[in-house]
Amino acid sequence: MTKASGQQIIMNAKELDRILSRFAYEILERFTNRETLAVVGIQTGGAHLARRLVQKLEVLEKRSFDLGILDITLYRDDLALEKNQPIVRKTDIPFKVTQKEIVLVDDVLYTGRTVRAALDALIDFGRPRVIALAVVVDRGLREFPIRPDFIGKTIQTVPEETVRVKLVEEGEASDRVVIMRRD
């Protein structure tokens, strides 16, 4: 772990890539029916990670996999508490969800509220056979009984801290995961 500009770097680009590679192998071990396997990323960080994960799966299996992108903004339970107009991003689920084995991807698991909203949103598209959760960082402090199936790294945090997965797809110079104090 290194410190930079008030941020503690807890994972670099190489470590993040290694985690996604591990996820690909673990997912292929768990879900043997490649025809029903799909990956859905939660906007925004989870969407980028889901795209990378699908690329890794496709290289390993030499076949394509269904990829979906899910925006959960309108499913959030804190929408009424927001002072600013929420930013609604694109949802793109170009396959039938019913009877799929879906790996839902997010960057950081904290309270569980984002995942709860994602489950509600995803189920509006149909009835998957299974939904498994993959997160790069599980920082604990859950408010809902949600547990990931695939975890990159578990860290202990306090509510005054925030964990961010910073990705080149979002304009960063390099991938990294940082922890910092909230203002």
Domain ranges of the chain: 2-181
Residue keyed to tokens 């709860």? 116
Q: Model pTM greater than 0.85?
A: yes
How far apart are the C-alpha atoms of 148 and 2, rounded to whole Å?
27
SS (H, E, C) 129-147: CEEEEEEEEECCCCCCCCC
Task: Could you please state the CATH topology (level 3) that the domain comprising 2-181 is classified under.
Answer: Rossmann fold (3.40.50)
pLDDT tens digit sequence for 26-63: 999 999 999 999 999 999 899 999 999 999 999 999 99
pLDDT tens digit sequence for 121-180: 999 999 999 999 999 999 999 999 999 999 999 999 999 999 999 999 999 999 999 999
